[in-house]
Every structure is written in C-alpha cells, then in structure tokens.
Amino acid sequence: MGIVTLEKDVAAVRESCRVVRKVLTELAQFIQPGVTTAEIDALGREIIRSEGAVPSFLNYNGYPAAVCVSINREVVHGIPSAERIVEDGDIVGIDVGAYKNGYHGDAADTVMVGGVSPEARRLVEVTYEARNLGIAAAVPGNCIGDIGYAVQTYVEANGFSVVQKLMGHGIGRKLHESPGVPNYGEAGMGMKLSDGLLLAIEPMVNAGAAEVSFLQDGWTVVTGDGSLSAHAENTIMINGSHPEILTA
C-alpha cells in the first residue's frame, strides 16, 4: 500500500508528480490535427528523461511506450503509432507515468482537438468533474467505496456510464499498489481511508454503455458499442479534509 509519512518520501512523490504534470501540459500544447500518436509518445519520453525521471509505463508488463494515447472510442492504454494521426474533432486521452527517486506519479487528461461535437465536450467535462468529486471524497474516515459512489452517481446522473472493468489504484514505490479504486460503489463500503495514502483516481467514462473490449494488440481498451470515452486521472495524497492533488 502506498502510504507516505516521512517528509523526504512526500517530497519524492511530489517531484515525480510534478514531472507528470509538466509532460501532460506540454503534450496538450503539442497535440493538434496532423500529429501522430508516436510523436506524442516521443515528446513525452524526451521530457520525462530530461527531468531525470524514467517512464513508468515503458516495458511495464510489456507495454511498448511511455505515453498511452487513446482516441475517441478508445478508453485507455492505446499504443502510440506512426500511422495514427490526430484529426480535428478528436478527443485524445493522454496517460503519463514518471518514476524518480523511488516513487511513481501517474495522471491522465483528455484533450479536445479543434471543433469537437457538443456531446464530446460534455463527456469530457463530466469526466473531469467526476474525477474532482472522487478526489473530494478521498478524506480520512471515508472509505474507498465513497470515492466510487461519488464518481458513479455524478456520471450516471449525466446520462453516461462508468467503465467497471478497469479501476484506479494505490501508487507509490510501485505503479500499481493496493487498494484498487473502482469508479463505482457504495458509500461507506471498502477500506477506510487515512492520511498519507497515495491514490491514482481515474474515472473512465463512456458516452454509451459501460462495456469494453480489447483490441488485437492486447492493450487498447475500446468501448463495446463504439461510443466515445474519456479519461481523467490525478495522483493524490490523502491529507485531512483537503486531499493534496500531487499531479495538479
């Protein structure tokens, strides 16, 4: 379980998360119609390395890149490719992990490219708000289920669905630590939360049904019904009534 108490460990995880946010910020500025997803990955790698960090995802269970790039109906874990070109109107999920001084940071954004449809824009906005509500529920005394409950009720009230096959996670010295953080659940259920716990909170929201399937590449998760999907993730540290958003 990723729990930090020593100030030097808190400083280390803050630094890894700062690198992740820097990469996401620069990638969002770089993404425009005509760029390939391989170029997005290459730029991400370069920034991670220039910050003295290591890409958390590269070679993780055989994943072949530093950045996951997941467009439109792709939910998460899209593999960058020189053949895949970003187009006007796309929503582009970018997911980045960085490891430095013994700790990982992990965060994701969904970038709207040019003229996106009103439905796509609403999906992305609901996904960010769901993430923020999930984070707000991450306070001592609450439970893991309170996070998922906050995410799911908001998403479903807006007519969208949360992916249940994949979830957020504890994070720290390893990219994925306990506990799992489902984006659905019941208030008051699951592990009790306490100060110093590091969590990656990452709702994946589908415009249509919640079902997902995997592409032949073994990684890319797509919506079962072909509807759009959006993803937003932050690494946070539980800290009294105000969780610290380390990748803010």
| Binding site residues, ligand MF3, CB under 6 A | 57, 60-61, 63, 68, 77, 95, 106, 108, 169, 200, 202, 233
Spatial separation of the C-alpha atoms in residues 69 and 198, rounded to whole Å: 24
Helix residue ranges per DSSP H, the chain: 7-30, 37-50, 118-136, 144-157
Element holding 68 (H helix, E strand): strand 67-71
Smaller CB distance to Co ion: residue 84 or 169? 169
The CB-of-5 to Co ion minimum distance in angstroms stands at 22
Do residues 151 and 132 touch, judged by C-beta distance below 8 A? no
200 binds Co ion per the rule CB under 5 A: yes
How many helices (H) and strands (E) the chain has is answered by: 4, 15
The CB-of-161 to ligand MF3 minimum distance in angstroms stands at 19
Spatial separation of the C-alpha atoms in residues 68 and 217, rounded to whole Å: 13
Which partner, Co ion, ligand MF3, none, binds residue 9 by CB below 5 to 8 Å per kind?
Answer: none
177 binds Co ion per the rule CB under 5 A: no
Which partner, ligand MF3, Co ion, none, binds residue 63 by CB below 5 to 8 Å per kind?
Answer: ligand MF3
Q: Which amino acid is at 21?
A: R
Smaller CB distance to ligand MF3: residue 42 or 187? 42
Residues 98-127 touching Co ion, rule: CB under 5 A, are: 106
DSSP letter for 241, please. Answer: B
Could you list the residues that contact Co ion (CB under 5 A)?
A: 106, 200
